Amino acid sequence: MPPKAGNDSSLARTETPKAKPEVKKEVIPPKVQHSFEDIEGLINNLLMLNTFTLGFSISFLAAFEKEKLLEMDQDYYNVFMGVTYQGAEDDKGNLMIKSFGEQGIGDTYSLSPSGTILVRGMRSSSCLTMSLIVGLASYVSMSLSDAREDEKFFIKWYSWFKWIILSGYCLYVAGFTLFYMMVSASAYALFPMYCNSKRGGFSNSVWLDTTAGGDFDNDGKILEGCFVKGMKDPVGDSTLFLNIMMPMILIFCGAVTYAMHYKTKVVRRGRVRADGTLHGRWS
């Protein structure tokens, strides 16, 4: 019988250093929760905006008498042909057409401010009317359905109508843009355009040149005719700025709101090392 082995001091517990858990961050896509009241507020705002803007658009189309509209077209024809006043060179013929970005009009056509106001106004009213109909249809559908009482049905209803409501807002932006373009057309058709005027600083005032060859003739009569200059600044520049900034502001606010709902989740993974060593193992 083999002798019993005594207590061997060589058998000692060796501690394996603890392995740090692997920490990984995962980005969770946004999942925004909408309520019935949120969507109802969006539709009510769409209806309110369309009601006011459509009223202004229709009223603006009927604001001018026929004689005034004919006078607008006659003034531009006179400058186009150089009949009453020899304005700037870019007001003549094809150069005026190019200032609008049109290429296939032809060199023998003069701008018609009255027709421009009519076309832009009707297109603006059409877009705003379609947007109003989209808002009304969405509100009626939501009211007649069980979207208020049944949350599951509301989720199903919203999955379809969120795109319809979005299209209504897109139509409103298009209609409002055309409305402002109509106002800009009336601005450079009704207001005189001077060739040598200067603009003030913070006062935003305009000053006419009274020297010889300026904005007055020898008899003290006002001279005007630099229409392209007046259309570009301030009318054209302001219109271009608004047409770019309005959709950009909407897209930026929507993107920021969407990005704010992104969440970061911290994931901690295993405490066992890659070699399989466990904590407190006897050697």
At 105-142, the pLDDT tens digits run 767 777 888 998 999 999 999 999 999 999 999 999 99
The ranges assigned to domains in the chain are 14-29+262-283, 34-190+226-261
d(CA 132, CA 49): 9
Mean pLDDT (the chain) is 77
* pLDDT (0 to 100) of residue 43: 93
* pLDDT (0 to 100) of residue 8: 53
* pLDDT (0 to 100) of residue 96: 61
Taking the model in full, what pTM does it have?
0.72
Partner residues linked to 267 by β-bridges:
24
- Say whether pLDDT at 13 is over 60: no
244 residue type, one letter: I
At 67-83, the pLDDT tens digits run 989 988 888 787 777 66
The string of DSSP codes covering 79-142 is HHHTSS----GGGSHHHHHHHTT-SSS-TT----HHHHHHHHHHHHHHHHHHHHHHHHHHHHHH
- Say whether pLDDT at 99 is over 50: yes
* pLDDT (0 to 100) of residue 248: 87
d(CA 187, CA 125): 19
CA distances (Å), 54 to each of 34, 124, 134, 188, 240, in order? 29, 8, 14, 22, 22
d(CA 135, CA 258): 23
